[in-house]
Amino acid sequence: MLAFVCAWLAAATIAIELMREKFWRELKGPADWVLLAPRVWWRWQKRYLLGTPVILAIVGLFAATLDWGL
């Protein structure tokens, strides 16, 4: 569930960034359109991976509240 939320938030952040930068103005030819997908994918990966520590912290804090039968 947390991974889904992180993925959705990363996608929303990228969409907002692209709209603010008006990315379509930089696309001059077919090569630029083809290279757009890897650039957007790389941005999404960076945003998603930056969320990993937050996900691990939430899971760790939840695990700390459980009674592990010790």
pLDDT in tens, the chain (70 residues): 777 887 888 889 899 988 998 888 888 888 888 888 898 899 889 888 888 888 888 889 999 999 887 6
Strand, helix or coil for residue 7: helix
Count CB-CB contacts under 10 A for residue 55: 15
**Looking at the 3D structure of the chain, how many domains does it have?**
1
Q: Is residue 70 part of a domain?
A: no
Q: Is residue 17 part of a domain?
A: yes
Q: Is residue 54 part of a domain?
A: yes
Enter the pTM of the model.
Answer: 0.65
